Amino acid sequence: MLFNFLTLPSPATLGTNALQLLLSFVLSVFIVNIYQWTQTKVPQKSFTDTLIILCMLIAVVMVIIGDNIARAFSLVGALSIIRFRTAIQDPRDIGFVCYALVVGMAVGTNNLSIAILSTFLIGIIILGIYHWHQRSGNNNGFSLGFCLPPDANAETVYRAAFDAHLIYERLLEKRIKKSQVVELSFLIKLANPQEWLAFFDELSRIEGITEVRMDKE
């Protein structure tokens, strides 16, 4: 057993594994670029770095597993103890996580042609969808969130600003934070998208409203 442990794999095997790891890195960088090009919000560096790391790690995991079922169950048990404290809020981000994982799996199982083809083809499709939304989508949709004091009548203070600027509103979520303030999340559409800053400022100046945030849909 000790002899087997100390025996190094052949140079050909090491070269193949190194190429798999390098390919997973190159493809993951392409995935990150697609994510950054099509992201309407400012991308978080921690998330884009995670996509690269995940793609490479999954490739390594698949190389380790190979055709060994016992290794597969052992790795599943080991990875199941990992817990993440940061939840992914945007379903689109979950799609990119799966994108990176699947490409890493393809590289790790030595399906290189599938890995390369799927990476570029899916990336091109995502770019096409993004440009289609940019051309045909409505530019007046925003997600809006703010906090109010825990007062039964507090929710009426923003009504004047809503009536003056919005043509559509839908309450997505209402929850009470630990500080006992009420947090509201809306999907809204402005009558004039160019006046989003004026609406934001007007809402921020209302007494009792705090933590106003507004993102383009």
Rounded to 10 degrees, what is the CA torsion of 154, 141, 31, 61?
40
Average model confidence (pLDDT) for the chain?
A: 80
> How does pLDDT run across 39-70, given as a tens digit for each residue?
766 667 888 898 999 899 888 888 888 766 76
Asked if the model's pLDDT at residue 2 lies above 50, the reply is no
Q: Where are the domains of the chain?
A: 9-136, 141-216
CATH of 141-216, picked from 1.10.3720.10, 3.30.450.40, 3.30.70.1150, 3.40.50.740, is 3.30.70.1150
Angle at 92 between CA 110 and CA 24, to 5 degrees: 20
Q: What pTM did the predictor assign?
A: 0.60
